[in-house]
Amino acid sequence: MGADAMLEIRDLHARAGDAEVLRGIDLQLRPGEVHAVMGPNGSGKSTLAHVLAGKPGYEVTRGRILYDGEDLAALAPEERARRGVFLAFQYPVEIPGVANNYFLKASLNAIRAARGEPELDAMDFLGLVREKMKLVHMPETLMGRAINEGFSGGEKKRNEILQMLLLEPRLCILDETDSGLDIDALRVVASGVNALRGPERSMLVITHYQRLLDYIVPDRVHVISEGRIVHSGGKELALELEERGYAWLEKAPPGAEAAAP
Amino acid sequence: MKELELARDRWLERCEQLGAELSEGEPGFLRRLRREATERFAERGFPSPRLEEWKYTNVAALVHQPFEPAKPARGAVGRADVERIAFPVFACSLFVFVNGRQAPELSTLVGDPRKLRVESLARLRRESPGALEGRLGARVDLREHPFAALATALLDDGAVVTIPDGAQTSEPIHLVFVSAANGAAPLVLPRVLVSAGRSSRATLIVDCVSLGDGPCFTNAVCEVDCAPDAELHLVLLQREGARSFHVANVSAHQARDSRLATHTLSLGGSLVRNDLAVELGAEGAEATLHGLYVGTERQVLDNHTLVDHARPHGTSRELYKGILGGSARGVFRGRILVREGAQKTDARQSNANVLLGDGAEIDTKPQLEIRADDVKCSHGSSIGALDQDALFYLRSRGLDLAKARDVLTQGFAAEILRALPVAGLGDCVAELLLERLRGPAVAA
């Protein structure tokens, strides 16, 4: 089992600072699959995203994360990125003084070098970035500005999806990409994400609301509560959650394995 | 403090001997200037760290070195050295001074000589000293600045830059002061006198570098006069070797509606002390003071600034940024003086620092003295490390840790670099600052 999984998370326990936030996550993602992870605030959704991307300050205390059969937790964040792991941030960081286009080019060329591809020169990069910007309706003026500085909430999220389109990762982790977006921006962002869907690419879509899943339709939906996956189902589970809320699942006794401390 | 006194006496002897040689044939006003400077130096001597102004910067190490007034060393620097030193991108007028003395064979004037004159101070002293009367020594406060007094007592050569009324030059003027630090420990005295004429516009780069990895002591004095409506951009670039001591005094006076922007970039040396004083001496003057200091190892980088709002309706904007790694130490003391009657003054000051390691240190202190009641004055300072969230963000996009740190470090400096008035200079300095942070400063 799991031999063909791109991402296999087994009994994952992780701490953020002193607090144990993840308490036994099990999850498998095969190539081409899109899984949604839903759950109430504070359930551990974003922690899962950060642990997968390798954010300093998070510590795996038990269990394993296998990516292509390799121990992901042993890799530095940049090494994960170079192997195709991408996190679209819930709160993209503003970086004054560093131009967005400079950053995107440096990033793309770092990833390309890791894939054994030649660096793109300024002209080729410009052509590529223009093409991808159209997909997320991003004005070119945002390229010359500092990374995310003074960007609106929607512009920041578009910038995340733009990076994803440029870097063409194999595992996309979307952390509450829908938060703070109006319906038009949500459509644009979702169509950018959908443009990347393919048989070799997997996605983990973390969201609080079902709304995003109208546009990015998942193969599986997992509900996370208090650091464990308490329920999994097909895409219709998202609709049920929208109607009934999370309370009925949080109260439900989890499976025996998941309940073990 | 006995040692400071002994060192002072040693240097006073040299002032007497060398000053007498240098002043031979000089008119009375120059002799008086030397004599006054010698007296001021005798009164103050080398500053002790007990003085508030020198609290964080101990000159004992400088005083211990057996520095000697630099000998002419024309042959020590060739065309190839200059080409290596001068950033190639500027394509501008280049004037080279080796150990403080002009090297005409290494200098080139680009553009119209009617729009700009750069003359040798030594030559003017000999041939037409009248041109210096009332200008040389007129702005620098010798009472407060013993190093400037020492430099004035021993003044010899330097650059006298005259931008005539109405002259507008688009090409920057690049003055390169090279210290040949090959074993002997030279005291080099870069001296610059700038007169920006009425409604003139110009950009001047005063660039101090060292060749060789021996110790050297650069004691620079730069006096600047901005006539009404003049616009002057002054880049003070310091990128000497790891064993250099660098003390610089820049004193500027601004007439009505003039605009002066200084860009003080300190990238080398073991001990750097910059004293910058700008007097907004008439209504409508605008001063911009930018500074960037980058240190590693055990470098000490000390900036003292004085913005003197002497008349109403003056505007000043001051921004200094520090990047300190290793066990480097930075000092920023920004004094803003709003004199009585200088109403409608609008002054802002900001000092931001990033410390790259646990051993680095910064002492930052604003000092506002406001003697008028209808003014706007603000100041702020910050000290922090590189933003951890930003580091993770960059790494999550494939940049390795070292590259991510470099990108953030350059990003921190960007505000200063982007404001530089010479195309391409910002990129050169951005590269240079990373080079300097990576290891001990190497001589050019």
Query: At residue B2, does pLDDT exceed 70?
Result: yes
Least confident of B48-57, B330-339, B370-379: B48-57
Q: Could you give the angle at which helices B425-438 and B401-418 cross, rounded to 10 degrees? A: 140
Q: Which residues pair with B366 in a beta bridge?
A: B334
Secondary structure of residue A179 in the 3-state scheme:
coil
Q: Are strands A220-225 and A228-233 parallel, antiparallel or unpaired?
A: antiparallel
Instruction: Please write the tens of the pLDDT for every residue from B376-423.
Output: 999 999 999 999 999 999 999 999 999 999 999 999 999 999 999 998
pLDDT at A245: 84
Taking the Cβ of residue B399 and every Cβ of chain A, the question of whether any pair is shorter than 8 Å is answered with yes
Choosing among A79, A83, A89, A98, which should be mutated to test the B contact, i.e. which has the most B CBs within 10 A?
A: A98
Residues contacting residue B193 through CB under 8 Å, at least 6 positions apart? B121, B132, B135, B136, B158, B159, B160, B161, B222, B223
Instruction: Please write the tens of the pLDDT for every residue from B355-367.
Output: 998 999 999 999 9
Full domain range(s) for residue A12: 7-93+170-259
Letter for the amino acid at A88? A
Whether residue A23 lies inside any domain: the answer is yes
Q: Cβ atoms within 10 A of the Cβ of A259, count?
A: 12
Q: Which residues of A touch B407 (CB under 8 A)?
A: 98, 103, 106
Q: Which residues of A touch B408 (CB under 8 A)?
A: 95, 98
Q: Which residues of B touch A81 (CB under 8 A)?
A: 395-398
Mean pLDDT of B89-110: 84
Sign of the Cα torsion A135, A137, A142, A146 reads negative
- Minimal C-alpha gap between B36 and chain A (Å): 47
Q: Of B53, B7, B20, B38, which is closest to residue B150 (Cα–Cα)?
A: B38
pLDDT at A251: 57
Query: At residue A84, does pLDDT exceed 90?
Result: yes
pLDDT at A96: 96
Assigned token pair, A34: 């899109």
Sign of the Cα torsion B72, B76, B80, B86 reads negative
The answer to whether the CB atoms of A77 and B396 lie below 8 A apart is yes
Confidence of residue B318 (pLDDT cuts 50, 70, 90): very high
A92 CB-contact burial (10 Å; exposed 0-12 / middle 13-18 / buried 19+): buried
Confidence of residue B87 (pLDDT cuts 50, 70, 90): low
A94 CB-contact burial (10 Å; exposed 0-12 / middle 13-18 / buried 19+): middle
A63 CB-contact burial (10 Å; exposed 0-12 / middle 13-18 / buried 19+): middle
pLDDT at B440: 56
CB B401 within 8 A of CB B420: no
- In total, the C-beta contacts within 8 angstroms joining chain A to chain B are 80
Mean pLDDT of B160-180: 92
Count Cα atoms within 13 angstroms, Cβ side, for A106: 20
Whether residue A103 lies inside any domain: the answer is no
CB A159 within 8 A of CB A138: yes
Q: Give backbone dihedrals phi and psi of B424, rounded to 5 degrees, phi first.
A: 90, -20
Assigned token pair, B333: 């003391």
Nearest to B399 among A89, A92, A106 (CB): A106
pLDDT at A180: 86
Least confident of A133-137, B109-113, B196-200, B286-290: B109-113
Letter for the amino acid at B188? V
Whether residue A209 lies inside any domain: the answer is yes
Instruction: Please write the tens of the pLDDT for every residue from A90-124.
Output: 999 999 999 999 999 999 999 999 999 999 999 99
Assigned token pair, B277: 């004083």
Taking the Cβ of residue B385 and every Cβ of chain A, the question of whether any pair is shorter than 8 Å is answered with no
- Name the residue of chain A whose CA is nearest to B395's CA: A78
How many separate domains does chain A show? 1
Query: At residue A12, does pLDDT exceed 90?
Result: yes
The answer to whether the CB atoms of B400 and A53 lie below 8 A apart is no
Mean pLDDT of A159-172: 97
- Minimal C-alpha gap between A144 and chain B (Å): 13
Give first-to-last CA distance, chain A, whole Å.
24
Q: Cβ atoms within 10 A of the Cβ of A43, count?
A: 24
CB A132 within 8 A of CB A166: yes
Q: Which residues of A touch B415 (CB under 8 A)?
A: 96-97
- Gap between the Cα atoms of B270 and B268, Å rounded: 7
Nearest to B396 among A87, A97, A98 (CB): A87
Query: At residue B36, does pLDDT exceed 90?
Result: yes
- Gap between the Cα atoms of B131 and B328, Å rounded: 43
Mean pLDDT of A45-51: 96
- Gap between the Cα atoms of B435 and B437, Å rounded: 5
Mean pLDDT of A241-259: 64
pLDDT at B1: 60
ipTM score for this prediction: 0.95
Mean pLDDT of the residues in chain A: 92
Mean pLDDT of B231-237: 97
- Gap between the Cα atoms of B278 and A173, Å rounded: 54
pLDDT at A94: 97
- Gap between the Cα atoms of A260 and A248, Å rounded: 20
Q: In whole angstroms, how far apart are CA B226 and each of B111, B234, B281, B342?
A: 22, 11, 10, 19
Q: Phi/psi class of residue A64: alpha, beta or left (left: φ > 0; alpha: ψ in -120 to 50)?
A: beta
Whether residue A11 lies inside any domain: the answer is yes
Least confident of A71-80, B8-17, B102-111, B414-423: B102-111
CATH number at residue A17: 3.40.50.300
The answer to whether the CB atoms of B411 and A96 lie below 8 A apart is yes
Using CB atoms and an 8 Å cut-off, which of residues 400-439 of chain B contact chain A?
400-401, 403-404, 407-408, 410-415
How are the residues of chain B apportioned to helix, strand and coil, as percentages rounded to the nearest 5? 25, 35, 35
SS (H, E, C) B19-63: HHHHCCCCCHHHHHHHHHHHHHHHHHCCCCCCCHHHCCCCCHHHH
Mean pLDDT of the residues in chain B: 93
Letter for the amino acid at B431? E
Query: What are the E-state strand segments in B255-360?
Result: 259-266, 271-280, 286-295, 300-309, 315-324, 329-338, 346-355
Q: Which residues of B touch A55 (CB under 8 A)?
A: 392, 396
pTM for the complete prediction? 0.93
pLDDT at B91: 61
Instruction: Please write the tens of the pLDDT for every residue from B249-265.
Output: 999 999 999 999 999 99
> Tokens 């080796």 identify what position?
B98
SS (H, E, C) B99-117: CCEECHHHCECCCCCCCCE
Residues contacting residue B226 through CB under 8 Å, at least 6 positions apart? B196, B232, B252, B253, B254, B255, B258, B259, B260, B285
A250 CB-contact burial (10 Å; exposed 0-12 / middle 13-18 / buried 19+): middle
The answer to whether the CB atoms of B403 and A77 lie below 8 A apart is no
pLDDT at A257: 40
pLDDT at B182: 76
Q: Give backbone dihedrals phi and psi of B205, rounded to 5 degrees, phi first.
A: -110, 120
Q: Of A47, A240, A179, which is closest to residue A232 (Cα–Cα)?
A: A240
Q: Which residues of B touch A90 (CB under 8 A)?
A: none
Instruction: Please write the tens of the pLDDT for every residue from B261-308.
Output: 999 999 999 999 999 999 999 999 999 999 999 999 999 999 999 999
Letter for the amino acid at A165? L
pLDDT at A232: 95
- Gap between the Cα atoms of B280 and B254, Å rounded: 5
Q: Cβ atoms within 10 A of the Cβ of A219, count?
A: 15
Whether residue A129 lies inside any domain: the answer is no
- Gap between the Cα atoms of B220 and B148, Å rounded: 7
- Minimal C-alpha gap between B411 and chain A (Å): 4
Q: Phi/psi class of residue B246: alpha, beta or left (left: φ > 0; alpha: ψ in -120 to 50)?
A: beta
pLDDT at B112: 78
- The percent of residues above 70 in pLDDT, for chain A, comes to 94
SS (H, E, C) B136-170: CCCCCCCCCCHHHHHHHHCCCCCEEEEECCCCECC
Q: Cβ atoms within 10 A of the Cβ of B111, count?
A: 14
- Gap between the Cα atoms of A52 and A60, Å rounded: 10
Q: Which residues of B touch A98 (CB under 8 A)?
A: 407-408, 410-411, 414
- The percent of residues above 70 in pLDDT, for chain B, comes to 97
pLDDT at B444: 41
